[in-house]
Amino acid sequence: MKKFLTLLAVVFGAVALHAGEYPDISINELKSAIVHKQVTVIDVNGSDSYKEGHIPGAIDFQSVKAELAAKLPTDKSALVVAYCGGPTCGAYAAAAKAASELGYTNVKHLSAGISGWKDAHAPLEK
């Protein structure tokens, strides 16, 4: 039983660590960063979803994945935010990881995703 509990602690600890790898940003914080042109936003919902509506100024990760470095700012400390469908979606991590691997140090996650953005009646771009 002790080994089982230890295993559970290790597994849940790893999940919690991974979940916290990229800090969350709120919808209001992201709106402000967009207004002040202080963020690069990456949509990881796929090109079809992107065409239906995305956060204003967002990059379609699926279509630019191979050229992501050219789409991101030269300042490696610039804010980069990745998002996907919503709080239970983990697809954002592909873009967040790609940006981190390119040397970006201020990578965040909009855990609310596009569903939270829409629920907040925030503007969409097509």
Report the candidate in 70, 69, 60, 58 with the shortest Cα–Cα distance to residue 31: 58
19-58 pLDDT per residue, tens: 458 999 999 999 999 999 999 999 999 999 999 999 999 9
Calculated CA dihedral for residues 76, 37, 26, 82, nearest 10 degrees: -50
Query: Per the domain annotation, does 7 fall within a domain?
Result: no
88-126 pLDDT per residue, tens: 999 999 999 999 999 999 999 999 999 999 999 999 999
Query: Per the domain annotation, does 14 fall within a domain?
Result: no
CATH of the domain at 60: 3.40.250.10
**How many domains does one find in the chain?**
1
Query: Per the domain annotation, does 124 fall within a domain?
Result: no
Distance CA 99, CA 27 (A): 20
Query: Per the domain annotation, does 6 fall within a domain?
Result: no
Query: Per the domain annotation, does 5 fall within a domain?
Result: no
Query: Per the domain annotation, does 79 fall within a domain?
Result: yes
Both tokens of 126, joined, read: 């097509």
**What is the CB neighbour count within 10 angstroms for residue 30?**
21
- The domain in which residue 98 lies consists of 22-119
Query: Per the domain annotation, does 11 fall within a domain?
Result: no
Q: Specify the length of the chain in residues.
A: 126
Query: Per the domain annotation, does 2 fall within a domain?
Result: no
Report the candidate in 116, 64, 49 with the shortest Cα–Cα distance to residue 94: 64
